[in-house]
Amino acid sequence: MVAGLLFARAGVHTLVIEKHADFLRDFRGDTVHPSTLNLFDELGLLDALLERPHDKVEDVEAVLGGHAYRIADFTHLPGRGKFVAMMPQWEFLDFVAQEAKRYPCFDLRMRTEGVEAIERDGRVTGVRTADGLEIPARLVIAADGRGSTLRAGLPLRDLGAPIDVLWFRVPKRRTPGNQTQGYIAGGEMIVAIDRGEYFQCARVIEKGKAAVVLGRGIDAFRAEVESVVVPARGLMHALASLDDVKLLSVTLDRLTRWSRPGLLAIGDAAHAMSPVGGVGINLAIQDAVAAANILAAPIALGRDPDRLLARVQARREFPVRVIQAVQHTAHRTVIRAALAGTVQRAPWIIRLLDRAPLLQRIPARVLGLGIRREHIRSPRA
Ligand X SMILES: Cc1cc2nc3c(=O)[nH]c(=O)nc-3n(C[C@H](O)[C@H](O)[C@H](O)COP(=O)(O)OP(=O)(O)OC[C@H]3O[C@@H](n4cnc5c(N)ncnc54)[C@H](O)[C@@H]3O)c2cc1C
Candidate ranges 5-13, 16-24, 116-124, 291-299; the one touching ligand X (CB under 6 A): 16-24
Single residue of 58, 59, 61, 113 touching ligand X by CB under 6 A: 113
Write the CB contacts of 96 (distance below 8 Å, at least 6 apart in sequence).
1, 2, 4, 5
Crossing angle of helices 280-300 and 34-42, rounded to 10°: 30
Q: How many Å apart are CA 359 and CA 240, to the nearest integer?
A: 43
Nearer Cβ to ligand X, position 19 or 257? 19
**CA 26 distance to own-chain centroid:** 12
Nearer Cβ to ligand X, position 228 or 367? 367
Q: Report in angstroms the alpha-carbon separations of 205 from 64, 214, 250.
A: 17, 11, 10
Write the CB contacts of 136 (distance below 8 Å, at least 6 apart in sequence).
118, 125, 126
Question: Residue 100, interface with ligand X (CB under 6 A)?
Answer: no
Single residue of 88, 278, 305, 370 touching ligand X by CB under 6 A: 278
Residues 174 to 203 in contact with ligand X, rule: CB under 6 A: 202
Question: Residue 313, interface with ligand X (CB under 6 A)?
Answer: no
CB 26 within 8 A of CB 61: no
Crossing angle of helices 361-369 and 34-42, rounded to 10°: 60
Nearer Cβ to ligand X, position 126 or 275? 275
CB 100 within 8 A of CB 4: yes
Question: Residue 315, interface with ligand X (CB under 6 A)?
Answer: no
Residues 141-160: x/- map of binding to ligand X (CB under 6 A)?
--xxx---x-----------
CB 228 within 8 A of CB 279: no
Candidate ranges 39-47, 139-147, 304-312, 322-330; the one touching ligand X (CB under 6 A): 139-147
Exposure string of 256-288, with b = 16+ CB inside 10 Å and e = fewer, is eebbbbbbbbbbbbbbbbbbbbbbbbbbbbbbb
Kindly state the smallest distance separating residue 76's Cβ from ligand X, in Å.
22
CB 283 within 8 A of CB 327: no
Kindly state the smallest distance separating residue 55's Cβ from ligand X, in Å.
13
Nearer Cβ to ligand X, position 115 or 340? 115
Question: Residue 267, interface with ligand X (CB under 6 A)?
Answer: yes
Question: Residue 246, interface with ligand X (CB under 6 A)?
Answer: no
Tell me how many residues contact ligand X (CB under 6 A): 30
Question: Residue 368, interface with ligand X (CB under 6 A)?
Answer: no
Question: Residue 163, interface with ligand X (CB under 6 A)?
Answer: no
Question: Residue 34, interface with ligand X (CB under 6 A)?
Answer: no
Single residue of 9, 28, 260, 331 touching ligand X by CB under 6 A: 28
Cβ neighbours, 10 Å, residue 158? 10
Nearer Cβ to ligand X, position 185 or 193? 193
Helices (H) and strands (E) in the chain, counts: 11, 20
Nearer Cβ to ligand X, position 11 or 182? 182
Kindly state the smallest distance separating residue 358's Cβ from ligand X, in Å.
26
Determine the 3-state secondary structure of 106 from DSSP. Answer: strand
Single residue of 284, 312, 335, 369 touching ligand X by CB under 6 A: 284
Single residue of 97, 245, 273, 300 touching ligand X by CB under 6 A: 273
Single residue of 5, 6, 10, 18 touching ligand X by CB under 6 A: 18
Kindly state the smallest distance separating residue 316's Cβ from ligand X, in Å.
12
CB 339 within 8 A of CB 189: yes
Kindly state the smallest distance separating residue 89's Cβ from ligand X, in Å.
7
Q: Which of 243, 245, 289, 248 is nearest to 266 (CA)?
A: 289
Binding site for ligand X (CB under 6 A): 17-20, 27-31, 113-114, 143-145, 149, 165, 202, 248, 250, 267-269, 273, 275, 278-282, 284
